[in-house]
């Protein structure tokens, strides 16, 4: 990532947790109106490198606003958002766009694939705003498709593959730039139960390989299958629980071997 144009103030405030990928410190988001709507209220959340986190809440709980703030798509009304140690509040819109393009991968429920492009081209588009040349984008896209087990569909268009395959393409696009964190918004929401289970298994495999993933969902059962569950209700984090660590998880491997937690 090239943030050479960033002022020296960037990153000058020490991170709350030096091993954290994403930190929200006392974050509040209020939308104007009569009366104003408090979508997030004093939210504190830290996601460490190598974690797989489920953020769960019903409709209207604030989880979509939380996703937007976590993904730097929206600024909080107050509080601090830090991504890989960089305080977003100290950055210009251009710098935030560069940060988002290189350090955050997004996976959406509706895939958002360009129907006129091939699968390979859709994944390569994930590097379009990261300053990567065409040949390198295509090479990285091919590797990402291999990583998610769908390289054999590289020349197909999205309307010629299944829903589960489309979501794999979307996941490959999110991973192609090897971001610090992947934010997956209801990634199984438009899939049948079997296909959804396969996508979840893929996300777990990618996490075991080192990817840091936050999965946003309304499905408690889905969130309960992840190592850590964060529940949001009425704009508040009401619970944050961690299950016994998976011995194959990226974070646990790093602890076992005394190495830094993988990204």
CB 26 within 8 A of CB 78: yes
Whether the pLDDT of residue 110 is over 50: the answer is yes
Q: What is the CATH number of the domain that holds 109?
A: 3.40.50.300
Could you give the percent of the chain with pLDDT greater than 90? 80
* Res 13: pLDDT: 44
pLDDT reading at 8 higher than 90: no
Residue 19 located in a structural domain? no
Check residue 83 and give its pLDDT: 96
21 within 8 A of 47, measured Cβ to Cβ: yes
Over range 151-161, report the average pLDDT. Answer: 97
Specify if 220 maps to a domain: yes
**pLDDT tens, position by position, 71-86:** 999 999 999 999 999 9
> Looking at the domain assignment, is residue 71 inside a domain?
no
Q: What are phi and psi of 241, to 5 degrees?
A: -125, 150
**Minimum mean pLDDT range among 78-82, 128-132, 143-147, 238-242:** 128-132
In a domain, 37, yes or no: no
**In sequence order, what are the residues at sequence separation of 6 or more whose Cβ sits closer than 8 angstroms to the Cβ of residue 199?**
164, 167, 168, 171, 187, 188, 191
pLDDT band at 251 (very low <50, low <70, confident <90, very high): very low
Report pLDDT for 17: 60
Alpha-carbon distances of 31 from 55, 66, 136, 157, 219, rounded to whole Å: 22, 13, 41, 39, 26
Residue 74 lies in a domain: no
Is residue 159 included in any domain, yes or no?
A: yes
Domain assignment of residue 115, yes or no: yes
Under the banding of pLDDT at 50, 70 and 90, the label for residue 16 is low
> What is this structure's pTM?
0.84
35: cis peptide before it, omega within 30°? yes
Domains held by the chain: number: 1
Q: What is the average per-residue pLDDT within 126-148?
A: 94
Q: Is residue 263's pLDDT more than 90? A: no
Angstrom distance (rounded) from CA 209 to CA 207 = 5
Q: What is the DSSP letter of 36?
A: -
> What's the confidence (pLDDT) of residue 262?
32
Span 161-185, pLDDT tens digits: 999 999 999 999 999 999 999 999 9
The pLDDT value recorded for residue 18 is 56
Give the range of the structural domain holding residue 106, as residue numbers without chain letter. 51-64+98-256
Give the pLDDT confidence score for residue 19 in this predicted structure. 78
């Amino acid at each position: 990532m090239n943030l050479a144009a960033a002022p020296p103030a960037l990153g000058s405030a020490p991170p709350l947790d030096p091993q954290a990928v994403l930190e929200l410190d006392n974050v509040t988001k209020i939308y104007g109106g009569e009366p104003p709507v408090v979508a997030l209220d004093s939210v504190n959340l830290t996601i460490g490198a190598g974690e797989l986190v489920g953020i769960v809440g019903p409709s209207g709980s604030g989880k979509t606003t939380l996703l937007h703030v976590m993904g730097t798509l929206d600024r909080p009304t107050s509080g601090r958002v830090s991504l890989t140690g960089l305080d977003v509040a100290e950055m210009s819109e251009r710098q935030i766009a560069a940060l988002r393009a290189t350090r955050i991968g997004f996976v959406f429920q509706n895939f958002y694939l360009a129907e006129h492009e091939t699968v390979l081209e859709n994944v390569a588009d994930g590097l379009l705003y990261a300053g990567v040349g065409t040949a390198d984008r295509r090479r990285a896209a091919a590797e990402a498709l291999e990583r998610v087990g769908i390289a054999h569909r590289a020349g197909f268009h999205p309307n010629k593959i299944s829903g589960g395959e489309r979501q794999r393409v979307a996941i490959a696009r999110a991973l192609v730039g090897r971001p610090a964190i992947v934010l997956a918004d209801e990634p199984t929401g438009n899939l049948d139960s079997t296909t959804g289970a396969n996508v979840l298994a893929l996300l777990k495999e990618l996490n075991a390989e080192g990817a840091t993933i936050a999965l946003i969902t309304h499905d408690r059962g889905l969130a309960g299958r992840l190592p850590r569950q964060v529940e949001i209700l009425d704009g508040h984090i009401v619970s944050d629980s961690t299950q016994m660590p998976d011995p194959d998880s990226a974070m646990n491997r790093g602890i076992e071997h005394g190495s830094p937690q993988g990204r």
